[in-house]
Chain A
């Protein structure tokens, strides 16, 4: 049995477009690996059971919970954190409007919010306020109270939809 199951697993993946190789403990979350081993501290580990959304990452094109995925499961995956999306400029409009609209205070939930919203906006179209709320229902913010966040997402969606139509 000991030969089949490993305490430490070798993984090879890309993180924010760069190749990464590592040996990770069997029970390590992906978000802890990114934070502790790679110094990518944008995504936050908070509730650690999938409720709060602060750890949201983009894995193989989809938003996922960084605390409900093991680093071992990310072997071969294409992982993007808020740092990478930020460096690409992929969410610059969203970040600017978050500041403009005061859609954050302490900023703890903001990286997870941005990654979650990025997925919604990448799907295209003009989401309704209800759809925006529904999509962000898994991301908790304990200080701004969501209204400004929904405003920010709505205004970016409107600008992007116009650009798409133009």
Chain B
């Protein structure tokens, strides 16, 4: 491939994408939210040109759409990789519509084979995957953070520009609030104890917390526990729209095993589940399971570990 672009409002993902993009194209331009240091880093990971797109004070970042369209008109990129963040996905979809080209969301694969681009998506909430081929360009592909490993930085020269908006567009930003720093990083935890709707009383969370502490792990949960009941903060829910984890051990109780949740835990090394319904779907994706009441099994686990 000749020209490849990456677009990212998240520096770390820009580094990951630059490393990958370098193997696919002969020239690489990166459109990144960040400062000069970020730009130098993107260059060290493979970009030839970096165009910085600062977060505008008064309008949304996606407003860069019109600048990018103008750039695409003269540069003719064949492949555009976009960091699959919220802003990234919105911008990618709008850019694809304007360029009248396909866009593949959250591809897990990115390979060139016989002049075609081979991509892969997870579909049906994690139940299946599907290969997708593309042989007409341009094509836009969004890639989630951590999909590809960051390469080794190299000594490299590149050009850095600041990109300006063309007009402010109709959307005015009234207020921005940064998210409170996460108190926990479930993605890094070796052991995660999961809790689902099988827990009927909020007070029962204490035993999950005690178990997690005993195991040196963290508590995670299903979406309803965080979103509907608000018993635990959002940063702790696991699933396709929540956190995706890769612990050595995922031990859960009261989790039915809906595929949206399973998507978030599928890369766990060992999965253990406890559920009082012997037909619970979670058992099908578990290495070990106990059919039993979590109110009995969790305290028994705690006393056995003590």
Q: Do A and B bind each other?
A: no
